[in-house]
Structure 1
Amino acid sequence: MREKEWGVWQKRSWREYALAVAEFAAGLEVLGLGRGDIVILIGDNRPEWLIAELAIQCLGGIALGLYQDAPADEVAYIFELSEARLVVAEDQEQVDKMLEIRESVPALQHVVYHDPKGLASYQTAGLQPFEAIRESGRQGRADEALLGELDERIAAIAPDDACLIATTSGTTGRPKLAVLSHKNLLAMAHNLGLADSKHESDEFVSFLPLAWMGEQMMAVASALLFGFAVNFPEEPDTVQNDIREIGPHLIFSPPRVWENMAASVRVKIMETTRFKRFLYEKLFPVGLRMADTRFQGREPSAGLRLQYFLATRLLFNPLKDRLGFSRVRSASTGGAALGPDTFRFFHALGVNLKQIYGQTEIAGISCIHRDGSIDFDSVGAPIAETEIRIAEDGEILSRSPAVFLGYYRNEEATAETINEGWLHSGDAGYFDDANRLVVIDRLKDVMRLAGGTQFSPQFLENKLKFSPYVKEAVVLGRDRDFVAAIVCIDADIVGRWAESRLVTYTTYQDLSAKDVVYKLIREEIREINETLPEPTRIRRFALLYKELDADDGELTRTRKVRRSTVWERYKGLVEELYTTAGEVNLEVQIQYQDGSLREMRGAIRLQDV
């Protein structure tokens, strides 16, 4: 692994990695932790997270990762449920969060941190630096003795032992705790590798939350099985530059990351020189034609191949280099559906982007596109050892060695999710003529208009979010006469667009209410509507005066919309969208990350498309 510190990549060999795990495991044992104990980890992506995770697993314990932006009350809920006695918290921000909830969770005895900045004056019982735990584990013993002890610990572990608890996204309320075994994770990594090869010489950059199952799938399970290097950026703000320096061979990100990258490219093209903009406008359609030809399984003509060769040299290679994709061999997306426009964008650049489908409860993956059989309607075919069938009501059911052990302390939810070995996904789908799985939407989210037309709100939302000016969208229409949408603009991109036209504004609320911004978004929706069947076109919309936020319960930590929360929270706005009203006064309570509350109010215009 590597971590960038002070502008320099510091590397750690597999032997050094193993020694750090051995020392930390022994140090945890000194504190009385061992088999069956749950240890919580929270913070940004750092080597210490992986070292701590493997150390507790070597003792027969279970690691439980939390998102670094999780508010204190959500963290307290997880602690109460898991009864964890120790947490590895990255820095002062996370330590403060732990100390805040400590009185309400008496089981918490030890808080271990690995970034000491700002913590020198803290005098709290049970608060210790990461290196102190390692030192107590070493106790003057030689490296070989520690590594031998590590081998003995691993030999005592059974494949079916629980090793990881992953929080579900919780789109309908509190997250559930999915328990996974060593076998679950390694079977998944092995079978994913058969469908999408990984090599010891590969490089991977870990920048997405390690609490997310997708990052566990790559940075932990696949990295251990195939032996590739995991790289940690210096700071969240330096991720793009650090990716460019490493030039990873493997990229796995949820749709929001791919959507943001595509939007970023399009915005920078708008702001670049006239010559570069001319090149993009002339050559990018060549990439789209090549991508569409390949999607259709046709052989490109000699003329198209020549044009694409020139476009690659002049435009696509420089663009990929700027994105850090110059060496990417395996690029994939999962966690939610990726819009077809974003898919076409990256394939036009020459990035072989594939869709992955799965759930936390199946260790992250059950299907993936294969080379030569990539399309943007399906999520590919099942990986090895995975069976998928469609239930009578259209629900996708899966069975494989990667299906989880169950939800921690929630037998009722486990029984609802696993029935006779089959995992109930809650997603609606079907197999196409090529035996590839097509996921429609969440079973409970598929909507039907009053006239009987069925549609997927997620599909329409993805179409909207392909616009660089749209950050988030919630599509409405269940049992209504037409489809409507609540849209959140991208403040950064729309702000730059407004400034370039000498439009002044003060706040997000002020910007989202501007006439020119409404006109801009209306034109974007009109273009999108041209690609949609007549009954499912968006007829009316409103620009929300705030972004949807996980701290307000409107999004999950993986940025999935909690529809029921949004509908309930903005009930007045939803109802008025289906009247002839031109404006609605809205008042909501917003919550900051520190837990403080503020009332927000204002008029929101309702616009016909």
Structure 2
Amino acid sequence: MAEERLDSFPKLLRRNARRFGERPASREKEYGIWQTWTWKEVEDEISALAAGLRKLGLTRGDRLAIVGENRPHLYWSMVAAHYLGAVPVPVYQDSVAEEMQYVLDHAEVKFAVVADQEQVDKLLSIKDRVPSLQEIVYDEERGLRNYDHAHLHPLKEVQAAGRASEADRAALEDEVAKGSGSDICVILYTSGTTGRPKGVILSNDNVLTTAEASAAFDQLKETDETLAYLPMAWVGDFIFSMGQAYVCGFCVSCPESPETMMSDLKEIGPTFFFAPPRIFETLLTTVMIRMEDAGKLKYRLFHYFINLAKRVGGDILDGKPVSPLDRILYRLGELLVYGPLKNTLGMSRVRVGYTAGEAIGPEIFQFYRSLGINLKQLYGQTEASVFITQQPDGEVRADTVGVPSPGVEVKIDESGEVLYRSPGVFIEYYKNAEATNETKTPEGWVHTGDAGFFEEATGHLRIIDRAKDVGKLNDGSLFAPKYVENKLKFFPNILEAVAFGHERDYVTAFINIDLSAVGSWAERNNVSYASYQELAQHPKVYEMIQDHVEEANRSIAEEPMLAGCQIKRFLVLHKELDADDGELTRTRKVRRRIISERYEPLVKALYDGSDSVFAETEVTYEDGRKGKISATLKIRDAKTYPAGGESKAA
């Protein structure tokens, strides 16, 4: 008898229930207590939910929206949809109602499974503008007792109805058998830096083939465990917390809330962990702030062993030669500093760690690796089912993104753009044939939109910037704004940066301070402030940011091809750039055109010699109200450096 092809999530779930039945599959922290479900229990929960959704009217081909923070029941809802041949459409939980309306209407969503009252209220407010939306199922019942329940259903009751219906449970067998690798697995909406989000259609084969190959690359197993805390609508979370988890059979844990994520991370101690650079930067900033307040002996001990780790820790991790004395000292450091520090960070058990999305500061990257944490960079896209390149063990560096992932072909075209093709390449953009044809060639190559090159000596890929963003200064020098912004964001005090310079005489920048890092600095240095706006414009903060800008310039000057990208003038914005104001995407990518238009007077002032500029900006508060904030922003000149030379005044 031929073995069943495991080409869908329900089939993998059934295999996992048989093979790993009593092993943990899902965890959730609720009211301070971790709740655990085994693979057998998860199969029962999902099949009951699938039968209940079928009873409500969900059928093959229907779209099911998923909205909320990371919760086992929301992940299970996606697999329940697969049981019936329906298509999950995860939506960013922090989207405002109007953003959700576009996605739900465009995807023609029929059902929605949401976390709580907040998300129910958003959907009810737009329901009359989304004619396809019929039924809403909710997980958390608090606050919803007195709502009209004609088309509103508690998830537990849907499951109970599914368990009670023999006909619906029996029908699941036929539905699962109909499923195949070519079926649509998920529609994921891109963050939309230049316009409306596009719905990326990925098949079961796209997701599961990629998940299997990438998991094998780093030898992920059923004994691994990860923490699911990043948006469920982001492709990375879908691959890590769904694809790889089901392929390998490992456990996915959900934190109690975004606010408790760091402490929950410490309690779970995952073996497999992904975080964008900002998370790693925040963790390190927290540690360094605490060490500033430590006693003299503890302070000296910490820095002695950290300096030792920076010198030899990476070599030890990579299996390179290290002197016996340094090995002994490093082991002592493990007992006194590295071990307790990794425990504090929640990374004592991390066997494989990943970061992606933006470039991570080399010093930050090497810091974690020096502690013995196997942190790597990967390069990917939604359209690739995440993985384009990965870093093999022993070949991990901060300035490259590794070699092509298993099964992936990568090439650089004449313009310097990176192209790839692989089993993970998306089917198409939903209802957008024009964009599909612009992105994917008839031969299956996908335009990444990124400029990069392969190192001849190592075969590793290096990414310079978004191809469409790479421009030139008036003197012909290359201008790569993302490269400049990442140099600035390497500093913990800088949360966000936006660089300008294309077809101009020199480069300038907007800067957002990191309120937690700079606030802590202000407290230690007796700098008083009453608001973000006041702290951002404080003279001492400007001096500190200027030091960072000039240090970034010094680093940029070391790259001859990009030395012209040094920042000549900058200002510190009076507000944080915000996705609710349309300035960032939900994954915190800069919307350059919107920022350039919205802050046009500020950009003009950076180039007309002004030493200050008045700014009045509309903001959106958490409850949806609009308001305005205003301030007079100082503009500073910064030192620039010739390639390899001494500084010169701006």
**TM-score, normalised with respect to structure 1:** 0.96
Residues in 1 aligned to 2:112 and 2:414: alpha-carbon distance in whole angstroms: 44
Partner residue of 1:509?
A: 533
Q: Matched residue of 1:166: which SS? A: strand
Counterpart of 1:450 in structure 2: which amino acid? N
- Return closer, same or farther for 1:189/1:107 CA change in 2, 3 Å cut-off: same
User: Residue 108 in 1 paired to residue 130 in 2?
Assistant: no
User: Residue 600 in 1 paired to residue 624 in 2?
Assistant: no
Partner residue of 1:261?
A: 283
Residues in 1 aligned to 2:489 and 2:285: alpha-carbon distance in whole angstroms: 9
Residues in 1 aligned to 2:635 and 2:302: alpha-carbon distance in whole angstroms: 35
User: Residue 203 in 1 paired to residue 228 in 2?
Assistant: no
The answer (yes or no) to whether the contact 1:71–1:593 under 8 Å persists in 2 is no
Residues in 2 aligned to 1:150 and 1:106: alpha-carbon distance in whole angstroms: 28
User: Residue 526 in 1 paired to residue 550 in 2?
Assistant: yes
Residues in 2 aligned to 1:119 and 1:204: alpha-carbon distance in whole angstroms: 32
Partner residue of 1:93?
A: 118
User: Residue 279 in 1 paired to residue 301 in 2?
Assistant: yes
Q: CA deviation at 1:387?
A: 0.7
Partner residue of 1:560?
A: 589
Residues in 1 aligned to 2:88 and 2:479: alpha-carbon distance in whole angstroms: 40
Residue from 465, 469, 472 that aligns with 2:493: 469
Counterpart of 2:161 in structure 1: which amino acid? S
User: Residue 426 in 1 paired to residue 455 in 2?
Assistant: no
Q: 275-284 or 517-526: which moved more?
A: 275-284
Residues in 2 aligned to 1:556 and 1:605: alpha-carbon distance in whole angstroms: 27
Q: Matched residue of 1:530: which SS? A: helix
User: Residue 348 in 1 paired to residue 373 in 2?
Assistant: no
Matches within 5 A, 1:20-169: 20-139=45-164, 141=166, 146=169, 150-169=172-191
Counterpart of 2:452 in structure 1: which amino acid? G
Counterpart of 1:8 in structure 2: which amino acid? I
**Deviation by residue 1:522-541 (Cα, 9 ceiling, x = unmatched):** 12223333323153332221
The share of aligned pairs that are identical, in percent, is 42
The answer (yes or no) to whether the contact 2:358–2:486 under 8 Å persists in 1 is no
Structure 2, gaps ≥5 residues long? 1-25, 558-562, 639-650
The answer (yes or no) to whether the contact 1:254–1:334 under 8 Å persists in 2 is yes
Residues in 2 aligned to 1:264 and 1:448: alpha-carbon distance in whole angstroms: 38
Residues in 2 aligned to 1:454 and 1:23: alpha-carbon distance in whole angstroms: 58
The answer (yes or no) to whether the contact 2:313–2:330 under 8 Å persists in 1 is no
Partner residue of 2:603?
A: 574
Q: 270-279 or 347-356: which moved more?
A: 270-279
Q: CA deviation at 1:116?
A: 0.7
The answer (yes or no) to whether the contact 1:552–1:590 under 8 Å persists in 2 is yes
The answer (yes or no) to whether the contact 1:295–1:375 under 8 Å persists in 2 is no
**TM-score, normalised with respect to structure 2:** 0.90
**Deviation by residue 1:115-166 (Cα, 9 ceiling, x = unmatched):** 0111112124201100111112112549xx94x7544422211101102011
**Deviation by residue 1:27-48 (Cα, 9 ceiling, x = unmatched):** 1111221111110010000011
**Deviation by residue 1:178-227 (Cα, 9 ceiling, x = unmatched):** 01111001111111022111111111111111111111111100000000
Residues in 2 aligned to 1:92 and 1:340: alpha-carbon distance in whole angstroms: 43
Q: Matched residue of 1:372: which SS? A: coil
Residue from 462, 465, 476 that aligns with 1:438: 462
User: Residue 590 in 1 paired to residue 615 in 2?
Assistant: no
Counterpart of 1:427 in structure 2: which amino acid? D
**Deviation by residue 1:64-109 (Cα, 9 ceiling, x = unmatched):** 0011100111101112111112111110111110111112112211
Residue from 417, 429, 438 that aligns with 1:416: 438
Q: Matched residue of 2:387: which SS? A: coil
Q: 304-313 or 50-59: which moved more?
A: 304-313
Partner residue of 2:572?
A: 543
Q: CA deviation at 1:582?
A: 0.8
Q: Matched residue of 1:373: which SS? A: coil
The answer (yes or no) to whether the contact 2:185–2:207 under 8 Å persists in 1 is no
Q: 580-589 or 527-536: which moved more?
A: 527-536
Matches within 5 A, 1:167-566: 167-290=189-312, 299-420=321-442, 421-433=444-456, 434-533=458-557, 535-566=564-595
Q: CA deviation at 1:292?
A: 6.3
Q: Matched residue of 2:386: which SS? A: coil
The answer (yes or no) to whether the contact 2:317–2:369 under 8 Å persists in 1 is no
Instruction: Give the number of aligned pairs.
Output: 606
Q: CA deviation at 1:303?
A: 4.2
Counterpart of 1:510 in structure 2: which amino acid? E
- Return closer, same or farther for 1:309/1:528 CA change in 2, 3 Å cut-off: farther
**Deviation by residue 1:573-593 (Cα, 9 ceiling, x = unmatched):** 112112321100112211234
Q: CA deviation at 1:291?
A: 5.2
The answer (yes or no) to whether the contact 2:612–2:634 under 8 Å persists in 1 is yes
**Deviation by residue 1:516-557 (Cα, 9 ceiling, x = unmatched):** 111121122233333231533322211100001000111111
Residues in 2 aligned to 1:87 and 1:593: alpha-carbon distance in whole angstroms: 23
Residues in 1 aligned to 2:130 and 2:516: alpha-carbon distance in whole angstroms: 40
Residues in 1 aligned to 2:553 and 2:305: alpha-carbon distance in whole angstroms: 26
- Return closer, same or farther for 1:350/1:296 CA change in 2, 3 Å cut-off: closer
Query: What is the alpha-carbon root mean square deviation over aligned residues?
Result: 1.9
Counterpart of 2:308 in structure 1: which amino acid? V
Counterpart of 2:144 in structure 1: which amino acid? L
Structure 1, gaps ≥5 residues long? none
The answer (yes or no) to whether the contact 1:22–1:149 under 8 Å persists in 2 is no
Q: 274-283 or 506-515: which moved more?
A: 274-283
Q: Matched residue of 1:366: which SS? A: strand
The answer (yes or no) to whether the contact 2:469–2:481 under 8 Å persists in 1 is yes
Q: Matched residue of 1:12: which SS? A: strand
Q: Matched residue of 2:109: which SS? A: coil
Residues in 2 aligned to 1:519 and 1:306: alpha-carbon distance in whole angstroms: 42
Residues in 1 aligned to 2:353 and 2:106: alpha-carbon distance in whole angstroms: 36
Residues in 1 aligned to 2:357 and 2:494: alpha-carbon distance in whole angstroms: 20
Partner residue of 2:643?
A: none
Q: Matched residue of 1:471: which SS? A: strand
Q: CA deviation at 1:376?
A: 1.2
Q: 472-481 or 416-425: which moved more?
A: 472-481
**Deviation by residue 1:447-489 (Cα, 9 ceiling, x = unmatched):** 3222222243222222222222111111222233332221111
The answer (yes or no) to whether the contact 1:111–1:126 under 8 Å persists in 2 is yes
Residues in 2 aligned to 1:33 and 1:579: alpha-carbon distance in whole angstroms: 60
Residues in 1 aligned to 2:500 and 2:78: alpha-carbon distance in whole angstroms: 42
Residues in 2 aligned to 1:173 and 1:297: alpha-carbon distance in whole angstroms: 47
The answer (yes or no) to whether the contact 2:485–2:497 under 8 Å persists in 1 is yes
Residues in 1 aligned to 2:244 and 2:83: alpha-carbon distance in whole angstroms: 17
**Deviation by residue 1:273-314 (Cα, 9 ceiling, x = unmatched):** 333322232222222222565799963334443443333332
